[in-house]
């Protein structure tokens, strides 16, 4: 009889976990995708978050801000993985897949010239962001694209607010310089009719 209770208990736990996590999956995956720049790595990262969250199911149920806690786990796992990769003698650099520009595109009713112009701008920004450090890129992504406040980033990263603000400022300055470096080449291409 105890085996039946254990099986029912596990089913009940997995049902509760699935119903709690379902609304957070798209958000977690999109955040992981932006951090890792790879669909496969993003899926792995979200899976690791789920494993950690399932082990603390009772804590998760009691939380008011489940999404923030889950995102904190995701971010910490991402940083831990980055540290492991840096220490590894085998480099996995350049393993990320290209980012789908369609996710950044605007309304479908744009004229072809405007659509091409927007694609060039988005490509320039993505290329420049790929040259930032992982920390700079992740902070900019979380703050400027995902819309997290400095207070939320403080909770997420464990860094003081002043440190986050200065890191964001430095990342924006570096991104601006990288974009300025790219701008002259694009202007020459436009003038040449390319």
pLDDT tens, position by position, 102-143: 555 455 556 777 777 777 777 788 788 888 888 888 888 888
Domain membership of residue 70 (yes or no) is: yes
The residues, ordered by sequence, that sit 6+ positions from 184 with a Cβ below 8 Å of its Cβ are none
Share of the chain above pLDDT 90, in %: 13
Left (φ > 0), alpha (ψ -120 to 50) or beta: where does 37 sit? left
Domain membership of residue 61 (yes or no) is: yes
Alpha carbon separation from 138 to 6, 12, 114 (Å, rounded): 42, 36, 29
Domain membership of residue 67 (yes or no) is: yes
Question: 136 and 185 share a domain?
Answer: yes
Domain membership of residue 96 (yes or no) is: no
Most confident of 17-21, 76-80, 169-173, 181-185: 169-173
Looking at 54, 87, 120, the residue that finishes a domain is 87
Domain membership of residue 36 (yes or no) is: yes
* pLDDT grade for 92, boundaries at 50, 70 and 90: very low
For residue 149, is pLDDT > 50? Answer: yes
pLDDT tens-digit map of 45-88:
999 999 998 988 888 888 888 888 888 888 888 888 877 777 75
Question: 78 and 123 share a domain?
Answer: no
54's tokens: 């399932």
Range of the domain at 16: 2-87
Domain membership of residue 128 (yes or no) is: yes
pLDDT averaged over every residue in the chain: 77
CATH of the domain at 141: 1.10.10.10
Question: 134 and 71 share a domain?
Answer: no
**pLDDT of 188:** 46
Domain membership of residue 43 (yes or no) is: yes
**pLDDT of 46:** 93
Alpha carbon separation from 48 to 73, 76, 178, 180, 191 (Å, rounded): 9, 11, 34, 39, 49
Domain total for the chain? Answer: 2
Residue 89 or 35, more confident: 35
Q: Which is nearest to 27 in space by CA: 75, 91, 61?
A: 75
Domain membership of residue 38 (yes or no) is: yes
Question: 113 and 76 share a domain?
Answer: no
């Amino acid at each position: 009889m105890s085996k039946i209770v254990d099986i029912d208990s596990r089913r009940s736990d997995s049902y509760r976990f699935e119903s709690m996590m379902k609304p957070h999956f798209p958000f977690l995956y999109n955040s992981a995708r932006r951090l890792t720049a790879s669909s496969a790595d993003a899926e792995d990262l979200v899976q690791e978050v789920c494993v950690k969250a399932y082990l603390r199911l009772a804590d998760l149920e009691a939380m008011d801000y489940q999404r923030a806690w889950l995102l904190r786990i995701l971010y910490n796992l991402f940083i831990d993985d980055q540290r492991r990769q840096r220490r590894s003698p085998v480099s996995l650099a350049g393993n990320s897949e290209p980012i789908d520009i369609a996710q950044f595109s605007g309304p479908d009713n744009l004229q072809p010239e405007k659509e091409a112009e927007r694609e060039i701008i988005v490509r320039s920004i993505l290329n420049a962001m790929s040259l930032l450090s992982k920390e700079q890129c992740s902070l900019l992504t979380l703050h400027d694209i995902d819309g997290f406040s400095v207070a939320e980033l403080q909770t997420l990263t464990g860094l003081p607010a002043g440190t986050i603000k200065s890191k964001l400022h430095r990342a924006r300055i570096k991104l601006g310089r990288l974009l300025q470096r790219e701008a002259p080449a694009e202007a020459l291409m436009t003038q040449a009719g390319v």
